[in-house]
């Protein structure tokens, strides 16, 4: 059975100070309360929600249980209390000035239904017939020797052996694959090491050749005599001799 009629528009009323003071304890304890229904636009249907609002403060959400025959009062079942921010977020008007049906009610009733405490929800009750069982209808059940079989004892060693065998069989292939991978890895490491050694040797030879070439150039530069002045004298010697004879220069 549904908690309240979700297809029915909720009824909204601004609760008076007198009504609140009279019913505040019952609202807190969720006990049935009576509210005046003699005002304009009175409520005519049961099963829907009835909202008792105090502007900018709180809203008590109730369910309409009964409308009295004289239509002067109604009985409400309090369900829960929400604050004013929740009321606005769920689709309630910012200020309740007159009573009547809530227009944007679909989102509001779904929000109320979703946050309604589970303890307040009314579930369907199904009567289950009670069957009396007499002593004559109860038969004693006994176990015979044929019905009881002895459970063989399993020792720790047997369990360990089975487990180890299973692990060995399950992981044998894995171990072989790991072994192959390790062999390949070792070969790759060996090959890489040989290449590094060869490259290192080549670099060392190149450096040694460069050093020897540099030393050779420095040695040649040291041994080569510096003859620029002598060469100049030898080059101009004929002119010097000619000048000596021409001007009778005595040396």
Closest CA to 48 of 125, 127, 119, 106: 106
What's the topology of domain 11-120? Answer: Ribosomal Protein L25; Chain P (2.40.240)
Residue appearing with tokens 């040291």: 222
H-type alpha helices, 66-139: 84-89, 106-115
Q: How far is the first Cα of the chain from the last one, in angstroms, to the nearest whole number?
A: 149
pLDDT tens per residue across span 89-120: 999 999 999 889 998 889 999 999 999 875 45
Q: Are 170 and 164 in contact (CB under 8 A)?
A: no
Query: Is the pLDDT higher at 179 or at 147?
Result: 179
Specify the residue for token string 């779904």: 110
The two tokens of residue 251 are 């040396």
Residue among 77, 39, 41, 43 nearest 60 (CA): 77
Percent of the chain surpassing pLDDT 90: 33
Order across the sheet with 33-36: list the strands.
33-36, 73-83, 58-67, 49-54, 11-14, 100-101
Q: When comparing pLDDT for 217 and 78, which is higher?
A: 78
Quote the pLDDT of residue 150. Answer: 56
Q: How many helices (H) and strands (E) does the chain have?
A: 5, 6
Structure tokens at 129: 């017939």
- DSSP string covering 185-244, please? HHHHHHHHHHHHHHHHHHHHHHHHHHHHHHHHHHHHHHHS---HHHHHHHHHHHHHHHHH
Residue pLDDT, tens place only, 32-53: 999 988 777 778 889 999 999 9
Q: What is the pLDDT, as a whole number, of residue 39?
A: 74
């Amino acid at each position: 059975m549904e908690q309240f009629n979700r297809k029915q528009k909720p009824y909204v009323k601004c609760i008076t100070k007198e009504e609140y003071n009279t019913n505040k304890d019952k609202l807190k304890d969720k006990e049935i309360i009576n509210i005046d229904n003699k005002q304009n636009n009175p409520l005519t249907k049961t099963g829907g929600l009835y909202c008792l609002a105090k502007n900018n403060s709180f809203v008590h959400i109730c369910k309409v249980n009964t409308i009295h025959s004289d239509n002067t009062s109604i009985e409400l079942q309090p369900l829960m209390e929400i604050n004013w921010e929740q009321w606005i977020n769920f689709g309630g008007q910012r200020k309740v000035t007159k009573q009547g049906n809530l227009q944007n009610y679909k989102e509001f009733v779904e929000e109320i239904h979703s946050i309604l405490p589970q303890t307040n929800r009314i579930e369907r009750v199904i009567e289950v017939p009670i069957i009396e069982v007499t002593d004559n209808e109860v038969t004693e059940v006994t176990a015979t020797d044929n019905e009881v079989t002895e459970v063989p004892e399993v020792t720790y060693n047997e369990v360990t052996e089975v487990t180890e065998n299973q692990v060995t069989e399950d992981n044998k292939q894995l171990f072989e694959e790991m072994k192959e991978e390790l062999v390949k890895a070792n070969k790759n490491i060996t090959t890489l090491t040989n290449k590094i050694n060869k490259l290192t040797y080549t670099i060392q030879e190149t450096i040694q050749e460069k050093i020897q070439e540099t030393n050779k150039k420095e040695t040649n530069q040291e041994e080569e005599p510096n003859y620029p002045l002598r060469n100049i004298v030898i080059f101009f010697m004929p002119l010097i001799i000619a000048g000596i004879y021409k001007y009778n220069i005595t040396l």
